[in-house]
Amino acid sequence: MTTLTIVPPHREGEAGWAHRLTADVPGLTVLSPDPSQVEDALRTADAAYGVLPADLLAAAPHLRWLQAPQAGPPPGFYYPELVAHPLVVTNMRATYTDHVAEHTLALILSLTRGLPRYVQDQTRARWNPDWDPKAVVPLSEATALVIGVGAVGAEIGRLLAAFGTTVTGVDARRTEAPGFSAVQPVETLDQQLADADLVVLTVPHTPTTEGMVDARFLEQCKRSAFFVNVGRGPTVRLDDLDAALAAGELRGAALDVYETEPLPADHSLWHRPNVLLTPHVAGAGPHATERRYAVLVENCRRFLAGDELINVVDKSQWF
């Protein structure tokens, strides 16, 4: 008997997953315990779905596989005991690719067409057109640097290329992608920042990327550049970004993720006229729950058959 335990708390839409998995994966026993019973359920579990803190990991002596419920789980998910444990971790990467990429293009188009200022004018019923040609950045004349050319970054680059944008990328693993003129190793980042009109960050939160966008990073950017982050909040030092914007070292910025979430109400980024903020909703869209279930059920079938799992994580790098 192979057993998978769904660890509470359960996310929206997951309430019926235990029954569905039992029907969809014959031979798999699925437990969905209350919080008070989760330790008992894990004692015989071969696999688990959810967030597994250290005390629950210690209570699961037979565990061989953990399916993370997100593409980039929250800080603290990959603690030392989990990284050292022989179990395999898989994640939900590539389940929200189209949603995040389209949201990113909406942010970019808003910045390059000067929409943040017009939105603020609208709230004041203020008619204030700006016909200065320099107020708009044509995407067909722009160069975009996508930092992190995974599924989301690659799709963002493909969409930008359709506008005629020259798209380059840096990535730790990938060397090419459709629509990109080049994908270079991360060691080339500084020299590429100096040429980019759009800097788009999609990297996951890892020990290497935490705080990578700091004062030094921002000093390498063109003063006329726009900065966009749709990856993970802890990769960007918000105070350094705010200081760069205040000093005119960037033309503007758009963020969907933040070092602290929710973004504190007293943070000055809320009030900058050249900044567009959305509350970590780039992945919003139809079918998200079903896409996550599809990854889980596929991996359950593979686990039961002894086949290689999809979306396997390098635990030491958290992705």
Which residue type is seen at 72?
G
User: Which listed residue (141, 261, 290, 308) is catalytic?
Assistant: 261
Q: How far is CA 100 from the centre of its chain?
A: 8
User: Which listed residue (232, 237, 251, 292) is catalytic?
Assistant: 232
Q: Which residues of 228-263 are buried (b: 16+ CB within 10 A; e: fewer)?
A: bbbbbbbbbbbebbbebbeeebbbbbbbbbbbeeeb
- Is 117 one of the catalytic residues? no
Q: Using CB atoms within 10 A of its CB, is residue 302 exposed (0-12), middle (13-18) or buried (19+)?
A: middle
User: Which listed residue (280, 291, 301, 302) is catalytic?
Assistant: 280
| Cα separation, 299 vs 50, whole angstroms | 14
Q: How many C-beta neighbours within 10 Å does residue 286 have?
A: 8
List phi, psi (to 5°) of 103: -60, -40
Closest CA to 90 of 48, 54, 128, 62: 48
- Is 232 one of the catalytic residues? yes
What SS3 string covers 12-58? CCCCCHHHHHHHHCCCEEEECCCHHHHHHHHCCCCEEECCCCHHHHH
Q: Using CB atoms within 10 A of its CB, is residue 303 exposed (0-12), middle (13-18) or buried (19+)?
A: buried
Question: DSSP string covering 198-266, please?
Answer: EEEE-----TTTTT-BSHHHHHTS-TT-EEEE-S-GGGB-HHHHHHHHHTTSSSEEEESS-SSSSPPTT
- Is 280 one of the catalytic residues? yes
As annotated, the active-site residues are 232, 261, 280
